[in-house]
Amino acid sequence: MLRKRSPLIICGAFVFVAWNVILFFVLMRRPSAQGALDTPDETSNTGDGAGGGQFGNIMNEVMRVANAFEAELESQKKILLQIQSHWSVWENKGAVTAAKPKLPDEHSAPAVIAILVIACNRVTVKRCLDKLIEHRPSAELYPIVVSQDCGHAETSDVIASYGSQLTHIKQPDLSDIAVPSQHKKFQGYYKISRHYRWALNQVFNTFSYSAVVVVEDDLEVATDFFEYFRALHPILKSDPTLWCVSAWNDNGREGFVDPGKASLLYRTDFFPGLGWMLTKDLWAELEPKWPASFWDDWMRLPDQRRDRSCIRPEISRTLTFGRKGVSLGQFYDKYLRFIKLNTEFVPFTKTDLSYLEKKKYDESFEKEVYSALVVTVEDLQSGKLSGSGPFRVQYSSPDSFKTLARNLGVMDDLKSGVPRAGYRGVVSFLLRGKRVYLAPPAGWTQYDPSWS
């Protein structure tokens, strides 16, 4: 409506001015009441006095008309200024009305981070889902997708009982997989890998989420689980030296972590899993070469890791309660059931996490580790070392690493040369209240994949 009025105002102004120009010429040619502008009458007096009086009358009439015209122009000027003022107002209103609404900056809009729960035949998935829903701050920002394999009816009923609080999808291919004869006992690992591929394709390509946290059905999450991933999501997206964020610390058992450092985060070269976030871009890289089995160990190979790291916490934000599974309880009784689950809510989104930037982190990390006093396992176990550390125990071969790790109580396996929870070959943990670094000699440059 405002735009339609603008041409009318312009047209009106033009007609108005044109009319007054015509009026001016009419006034200039209009005869005076005394015929002062007519040719002098031949019968009138033609003396100098008479002629001067007639010319004076003409000049007076011209001056009168000129004055009248000047006054008229001033009046027209005021009216035109008013028209101009109204025109500006209408233009401004029109501009505001016609302008497109300002869209929110995509970088400032909260990202949607989906939670993918991998389920099979555990009715105890309820414990996992109950904690996820209890701690979830927003169903819109953290949609839960439960992907179920195995076709187990009781587990399916448990998942379905949550209704609209989550999305329940089911792996359509439940067939056995042809595996090498020596791998018949590993059929379960092949099915898990197949399920992961299908489920991740669903969340990324069917549901079109851009970031996903993968949670197994036997994990319980901490109170700040969502806060943790929310804060680290932009870092994962922007830092090409990272490829995942994990809620898990492989050496996060009670007594091996600092309870006063719930906010402490690390870079790690070991893929931890057990509650981990990846982006759609990473999945586009991994999916075409996704393995037939043992997907987590495959993730730890140099060809996949490509010298990238993950973020992990000092204190785990997930706890596994699933002793029985395809791994038949491997590591569970000795390590996993003792993992400490964080109970303190840390406001990570309001915390300065810039120390995780690779260059800054590496400089600080190397200085801290290699300025630490070198000690032996016996020194640590004797209880004679004063202070809280840090202290460094040095290894130089895979065998010495494994021996030291066992004696110190941390996990001793290596994958492609990378120790669990390790960064640049260094494993950080607490022992009897003292910070300890199990580390290679100074000058470490790269992992040796033969150390496995």
Q: Tell me the pLDDT tens digit for each residue of 73-84.
A: 555 555 544 544
239 part of the active site = no
Q: 3-class DSSP state for residue 109?
A: coil
**Other CB atoms closer than 10 Å to residue 279's CB: what's the count?**
20
Q: Residues 163-201: pLDDT tens digits? A: 999 999 999 999 999 999 999 999 999 999 999 999 999
pLDDT at 71 over 90: no
Res. 137 pLDDT band, cuts 50 70 90: very high
CATH assignment of 114-356? 3.90.550.10
* Token pair 């300065």 in the structure block, residue: 352
40: DSSP letter? P
* Nearest CA among 307, 310, 289 for reference residue 298: 289
Report how far residue 220's alpha carbon sits from residue 205's, in angstroms, rounded to the nearest whole number: 27
331-366 burial, b if ≥16 CB within 10 A, otherwise e?
ebeebbeebbbbeeebebeeeeeeebeeeebeeebe
What is the overall mean pLDDT for the chain? Answer: 84
pTM of the model: 0.76
Helices (H), 38-181: 48-98, 125-135, 153-160
> Distance between CA atoms of 291 and 298, rounded to whole angstroms?
7
Q: Which helix (H) or strand (E) holds 313?
A: strand 309-313
Q: Which is more confidently placed, 89 or 401?
A: 401
DSSP 176-222: -----GGGGGGHHHHHHHHHHHHHHHIIIIIS--SEEEEEETTEEE-
Catalytic residue among 239, 258, 296, 379: 296
CATH domain 362-452 topology: 2,3-Dihydroxybiphenyl 1,2-Dioxygenase; domain 1 (3.10.180)
**DSSP 8-state class, residue 339:** B
Q: What does the DSSP assignment read for 363-409?
A: HHHHHHHHTSEE--HHHHHHT---SS--EEEE--SHHHHHHHHHHHT
Tell whether the model's pLDDT for residue 288 goes beyond 80: yes
Asked if the model's pLDDT at residue 85 lies above 80, the reply is no
In DSSP terms, 170 is beta-bridged to: 148
| Coil/strand/helix, residue 235 | helix
Q: b/e map of 265-277 (b: 16 or more CB within 10 Å)?
A: bbbbbbbbbbbbb
